[in-house]
Amino acid sequence: MFNLGDCYKIGEGVEEDEARAVEWFRRSADRGDPDAMYELGIAYDFGEGVEQDHAEAVSWYRRAAELHHQGAMYNLGVAFDRGEGVERDRAEAARWYRRAADRGHADAAFNLGMCYEHGEGVERSIESAIEWYQRAAQLGDEMAEQQLAIMPRTCSLAVLAGALGLLAVVVPNGLSSPASAQTVGWWTFEEGVIGQRPAAGPSVLDISGNGFHGTPSGEATYATGEVSAVALRLPDQRGVVHVPDNPLFELQTGFTLEAYVRVDALGSVCCDIRPLLFRGDRRAGLDPWFLGVNNDGGLTLQIHDGTTQFTLRSDVPIGLGEWAHVAGTFDASTGRMRLYIDGLQVAQSTGFVSPPMAELDPTRSPGVAIANANSATQGVRGAVDSARVTARALGPADMLPPAADCRPDLDRDGALTVFDFLAFQNAFDAAAPIADFDGDGALTIFDFLSFQNAFDAGCP
């Protein structure tokens, strides 16, 4: 029965028919087949042959997991991680990841490594993170291999922190942020190696815990950051990070789109607005939400509700060659859009704005794009850092800090923690100007001492 369902699912020997596949999977599942239970979970999860129902998917995953199906265990972990079909529970997600990883599931081992690295659902432990990344790499997970490549720098900083007497610093549970509970995606580019292009595949890591890792294309490279240790450089207006679409990006009740950006030169007259952060598909002019830079250096925030496009523009320019924190917000309860530069409001909408449309065309590469479009005439020359999407309209106090507002907060998470020492070590190793804390033009042990003094002094 299961094999017949599989044939209908992939169209092997019969005409492809998802509904018939579900019918045969159900018959097989009723006879106790865990593979069929898992396939039913997939069907309900993605609406293949049945109406999409995440709760029903979880029910079938759970039945298969109780019969030791590793794929079902992993998918249960994902469900608890994202809160799809169940109440979000990071500890329960980690438990299911561990059960799947113990049975040889590579993606589960990688996700468990991420849990330990960021302290999501488990007590934070770099040693345990490395252990699980190594196990995932042994199982063939390329993302784990990339993560292991940057872990030695992280570990060396722990030694440095100890040498400087910082072992008593309290490290928050993951990256601290007032908006962390509703952070949908957060890409800091800290996984990168300065001077190199991002690796192929979903290598641009999302540190929100949602796993929305981005796939790069075009000419973008990692470069020395002025806001944090590593930024994404956009040398020729071409270069984009694509994140696959997810219902969490629909942002019907409100949002904050923010990033640090350095505009070195504006593009040609092809396009009035250069994209920084937006959601859409390949249909022109139907982006549900969009934040970009105008030809005059100002900002534009756009919302499309499926019928009408609402546009808010600011004439206040970003200084060329200078880092700035930019943000666009929307509050569905008031119907207002706002634009900010370095925490200062520069524009506000007047009429009532409708929420962004939710549905995108699944056949037209829907998703979120960070930085430029793929056309060489549409983008901004410069760099972008720490792009973040939050599912509510934040005020300036809850946003990422203004550029250069607090020198020792090198990871730009709004808190001084041992992670800033990690960022300092990366900058020092890369001979980045940001690491010259004593301002003498040379990188020496005195920069470590100056950094510690600034750290101890805190921020305004």
Instruction: Look at residues 154, 107, 115 and name the one whose alpha carbon lies nearest to residue 135.
Output: 107
Q: Where are the alpha helices (DSSP H) in 2-69?
A: 2-10, 18-30, 34-46, 54-66
**Tokens linked to 179:** 């908006």
Q: Can you point out the beta strands (E) in 195-286? A: 215-218, 221-224, 230-234, 239-244, 254-265, 273-280
pLDDT number for residue 227: 62
Q: Is residue 69 part of a domain?
A: yes
Distance CA 254, CA 331 (A): 5
Of residues 270, 297, 265, the one with CA closest to residue 381: 265
Residues 76 and 213 in one domain: no
Examine the domain organization and report whether 110 and 35 are in the same domain. Answer: yes
Asked whether residue 160 is assigned to any structural domain, the reply reads: no
Using DSSP's 3-state secondary structure scheme, residue 230 falls into: strand
Q: What is the phi-psi region of residue 443: left when phi exceeds 0, alpha when psi lies from -120 to 50, beta otherwise?
A: beta
Could you tell me which residues come within 8 angstroms of residue 138 by beta carbon, excluding any fewer than 6 positions away?
none
Ranges assigned E (strand) in 285-428: 289-294, 299-304, 309-313, 323-331, 336-341, 344-348, 367-371, 381-390
- Return the DSSP state at 222: E
Supply the pLDDT for residue 258: 95
Residue 77 within a domain: yes
Which alpha helices (DSSP H) does 331-444 contain, by range?
A: 418-429
| pLDDT tens per residue across all 460 residues of the chain | 777 777 878 788 888 888 889 888 898 888 889 999 999 999 998 888 999 899 999 999 999 999 999 999 999 998 998 888 999 899 999 999 999 999 999 989 988 988 888 788 999 888 888 889 889 888 888 777 766 765 544 444 443 444 444 333 322 223 333 334 588 999 988 888 888 888 888 889 998 888 899 988 877 888 877 666 788 887 655 567 899 999 999 999 999 999 999 888 765 544 567 888 999 887 777 899 999 998 888 899 999 999 999 999 988 888 788 888 999 999 998 999 999 988 878 888 988 999 999 989 888 888 999 986 544 445 667 889 889 999 999 888 788 877 755 667 766 566 777 777 877 887 787 776 567 776 566 778 777 887 887 777 776 5
Domain count, the chain: 3
- Clarify whether residues 101 and 212 are in a common domain: no
- DSSP at 183: E
pTM across the whole model: 0.54
Which of helix, strand or coil describes residue 340? strand
CB contact at 8 A, 213 and 367: no
Q: What is the pLDDT of residue 82?
A: 81
Alpha-carbon span 404 to 323, nearest angstrom: 8
Residue 157: inside a domain: no
State how far the Cα of 437 lies from the Cα of 423, in Å rounded to an integer.
Answer: 13
CB 187 within 8 A of CB 204: yes
Whether 315 and 430 map to the same domain: the answer is: no
> Residues for the chain: how many in total?
460
Q: Do 58 and 119 fall within a single domain?
A: yes
- Rounded distance between C-alpha atoms, residue 161 and residue 88, angstroms: 34
| 442 Ramachandran zone, left/alpha/beta (phi>0; psi -120 to 50) | beta
Residues 86 and 216 in one domain: no
> What CATH number did the domain enclosing 199 receive?
2.60.120.200
- 202 and 92 in one domain? no
What's 79's domain CATH number? 1.25.40.10
Q: Does 390 lie in the same domain as 422?
A: no
| pLDDT (0 to 100) of residue 378 | 55
Report yes or no: 222 and 384 within 8 Å, Cβ to Cβ.
no
Domain match, 314 and 209 both: yes
In this structure, the answer to whether residues 341 and 192 fall within a common structural domain is yes
Mutual orientation of helices 34-46 and 70-82 as an angle, nearest 10°? 30
AA letter at 394? L
pLDDT at 159: 39
Provide the greatest CA pair distance for the chain: 75
Q: Tell me how far CA of residue 368 lies from CA of 117, 178, 198, 248, 422, in angstroms.
A: 25, 23, 17, 11, 28
| Amino acid at site 188 | T
Same domain, 185 and 329: yes
State whether 257 and 385 are in the same domain. yes
| Owning domain of residue 12 | 2-150
Domain contains 43: yes
- Contact yes or no for 254/332 (Cβ under 8 A): yes
Query: 196: how many CB neighbours lie within 10 A of its CB?
Result: 10
What CA–CA distance (Å, rounded) separates 305 from 355? 6
> Residue 333 falls within a domain, yes or no?
yes
Nearest C-alpha neighbor of 131 from the set 169, 167, 101: 101
| CA 124 to chain CA centroid, nearest Å | 20
Q: Is the residue at 408 inside a domain?
A: no
Residue 164 lies in a domain: no
